[in-house]
Every structure is written in C-alpha cells, then in structure tokens.
C-alpha cells in the first residue's frame, strides 16, 4: 500500500448547463492531475452541469412560475444519468475511461437525473470513480445529498444514506460529503466509523465555506481533508441560458471564488486556499501523520464510548416503489 500519495482539487468553472462540454473539460483536468502524479482528484458540488445559481437571484420560490419551469427544464435536460453501477458509467463513461486509463480516482459532483426515481427529479450527487485495481474505471458509489440547503430544495430532491460509504486508496480510506453536509455531525461520524482518514468535501465554491471547516474537520477526525470547489463567474454563463440577463447581468461578477484547499490531520494547511482562478490544488499526504495524530485522539476508536453513544445508519437506497413480478 502507498503510504504517501498526491491528491488534488481541480478548481475549474463548468461549461454552464452543457453536460457534454463540462464532462470533456473534466476529463482534461483529470489528465492534468494524473500528469502531476496524483492518485485522486476531486471536483466541486454539482459541477456537471453546474450549481443552480439562479435560484437565489430570480425569486425562484414563486409557485408555478413559467420562467422557473423553463430554466429547470434546461437543467434537467443537461443533468447526468449515471447508469447501473456494474455498467460503464452512463453519461460519465468518458470520465470513467480517463480514470482507468490514467490510474487516478475521481470524486465528481453532479446533478443526477435519477432513473430509479422516475428520471425527472434531480439529486445533488457525489460520485466516486475508482482508478485502481479490479474496479478501475467503475463508479463505486453515488451519494445523494441528504438535505438540500435553502433554495436548493427548489431544484434538488432529498437524498438517502446509500452513499455514506468509504473506499480504499493506498493506505488511506476515503469518504466524501456535499457542501453543508460537512457541517452535519452525524454524517461525518458515519464516515469516521467506516474508517475514513481522507475526507473529501465538495462545494459550489467560496472561500467563506472552506477556510474554517476544512481545518475543523481535519482536527475533529484527525484526518486529511481536501475541500474541492468550483469557480463560477458571470462570464461563464452563456447567452442562451434562460433568464440569464436577470441573474448574470454584471459581466465582471464572481459568484463563487473557489477556495479549494487541503488540511492535514493536525489542522495545519497542507495546501492553502486558491481563490479567484482556475488551477490544481495539490498536496502529498502521508498516512503516517494520521497514525501520529490519532495517538491522542481517535473519534471512533479509543476516544469513543459506544456503550453510551452509538449511531445507526440506514444505507438502503430509497425508491418510490418495489415491483414484484
């Protein structure tokens, strides 16, 4: 097992509401991370086809509003069908192929058009694609965000616990959460209990989100924490996006400034936040540092009391119907 590996956050802008072009760009940055010698690269929350930034800028909670229906329909059309886990990744086939070809694992945030829930509602999903071993190039897990935040509930359905799992990567055990799920103590505890010592937190982007909690989770979990953010500017919104003039009229405006960063198991920066530009945030991480920091604190090991406090996690995929033929 590799006790030292390189990991990266790819802080890039999506090709807004264009699934195929966004995925092509993701593949290019997977290659960049592999060229840098990384074993894992992560991208931001719903990076494909984009975070629904229009919701908070167009009074989106108006019931039965024709303008919201138009942009939502475009969002659904450009969202991602992942396909069966044993298959080639559905719309993510190109990313899966890049992961297999370059031997690099990928954490990618997508707006998932979930065909096991009818195919018309969207989930804020986090996909783990393996780059190593017998499962190289395969989607290993899909975590649907447990609770969309505020106006996000106008675009995304509530998820379930099926994706609260971890994956081996060299000597490390990787887990991941979407955006404000990283503030939720119990999902973090579920991943700690599953052996997590490399936590990936994905965000739509913003230093205000990543600068404090990245280091806090690292200290709490005595783990490495990689925060991966997208970058989104008014210049990234194409002219043909419905209602664009209402939410992206200022050509110089920055909606999400990034803030991707990596913290070590002592809470110190392994790679400080990158703000306002595209780029790879890379750090070499050493599993030995995890073992050192857990000498005095291990949240689910010698410093836990399962006889007093215990968490129950339902990891079944929730479906609207069970068909018995």
Q: Is 44 a member of any domain?
A: yes
Show the domain range for 271.
4-293
Would you give the end-to-end CA distance of the chain in angstroms? 46
CATH number (domain holding residue 75): 3.60.110.10
The Cα–Cα gap between 281 and 111 comes to 24
The predicted model scores a pTM of: 0.96
What region, left, alpha or beta, does residue 264 occupy, with left being phi > 0 and alpha being psi -120 to 50 degrees?
beta
In a domain, 322, yes or no: no
User: Tell me, what's the pLDDT at 84?
Assistant: 76
CA angle 284, 289, 295 (to 5 degrees): 165
Residues labelled as active-site residues: 45, 145, 179
In a domain, 56, yes or no: yes
The whole-angstrom separation of Cα 257 and Cα 204 is: 9
Q: Would you state the pLDDT for residue 207?
A: 96
Within-domain flag for 317: no
**pLDDT by position in tens, the chain (length 325):** 789 999 999 999 999 999 999 999 999 999 999 999 999 999 999 999 999 999 999 999 999 999 999 999 999 999 999 987 666 679 999 999 999 999 999 999 999 999 899 999 999 999 999 999 999 999 999 999 999 999 999 999 999 999 999 999 999 999 999 999 999 999 999 999 999 999 999 999 999 999 999 999 999 999 999 999 999 999 999 999 988 999 988 878 999 999 999 999 999 999 999 999 999 999 999 999 999 999 999 999 999 999 999 999 999 999 988 899 9
Q: Is residue 300 part of a domain?
A: no
Total tally of structural domains belonging to the chain: 1
d(CA 273, CA 228) in angstroms, rounded, equals 10
Peptide bond into 27 cis (omega under 30): no
Question: Does the residue 82 lie in any domain?
Answer: yes
| pLDDT value, residue 87 | 60
Q: What does the pLDDT read at residue 1?
A: 75
Quick check: is 301 in a domain?
no
324 exposure class (CB count in 10 Å sphere: 0-12, 13-18, 19+): exposed
Does 247 reside within a domain?
Answer: yes
């Amino acid at each position: 097992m590799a006790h030292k590996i390189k990991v990266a956050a790819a802080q890039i802008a999506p090709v807004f509401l264009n699934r195929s072009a966004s995925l092509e760009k993701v593949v290019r940055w997977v290659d960049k991370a592999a060229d840098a010698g990384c074993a894992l690269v992560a991208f931001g929350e719903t990076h494909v086809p984009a975070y629904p930034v229009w919701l908070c800028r167009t009074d989106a909670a108006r019931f039965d509003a024709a303008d919201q229906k138009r942009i939502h329909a475009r969002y659904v059309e450009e969202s991602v069908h992942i396909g069966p886990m044993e298959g080639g990744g559905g719309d993510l086939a190109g990313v899966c192929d890049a992961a297999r070809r370059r031997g690099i694992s990928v954490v990618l945030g997508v707006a998932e058009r979930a065909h096991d829930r009818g195919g018309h509602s969207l989930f804020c999903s986090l996909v783990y694609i393996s780059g190593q071993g017998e499962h190289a190039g395969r989607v290993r897990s899909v975590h649907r965000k447990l609770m969309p935040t505020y106006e996000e509930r106008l675009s995304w359905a509530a998820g379930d616990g099926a994706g609260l799992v971890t994956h081996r990567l060299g000597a490390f055990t990787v887990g991941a959460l979407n955006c404000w799920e990283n503030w939720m103590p119990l999902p973090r505890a579920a991943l700690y209990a599953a052996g997590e010592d490399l936590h990936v937190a994905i965000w739509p982007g913003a230093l205000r989100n990543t600068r404090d909690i990245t280091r806090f989770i690292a200290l709490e979990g005595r783990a490495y924490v990689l925060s991966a953010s997208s970058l989104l500017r008014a210049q990234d919104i194409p002219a043909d996006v419905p209602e664009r003039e209402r939410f992206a009229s200022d050509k110089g405006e920055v909606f999400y400034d990034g803030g991707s960063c990596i913290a070590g198991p002592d809470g110190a920066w392994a790679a400080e936040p990158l703000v306002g530009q595209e780029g790879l945030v890379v750090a070499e991480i050493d599993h030995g540092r995890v073992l050192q920091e857990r000498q005095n604190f291990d949240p689910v090991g010698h410093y836990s009391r399962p006889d007093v406090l215990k968490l129950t996690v339902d990891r079944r995929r929730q479906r609207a119907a069970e068909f018995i033929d």
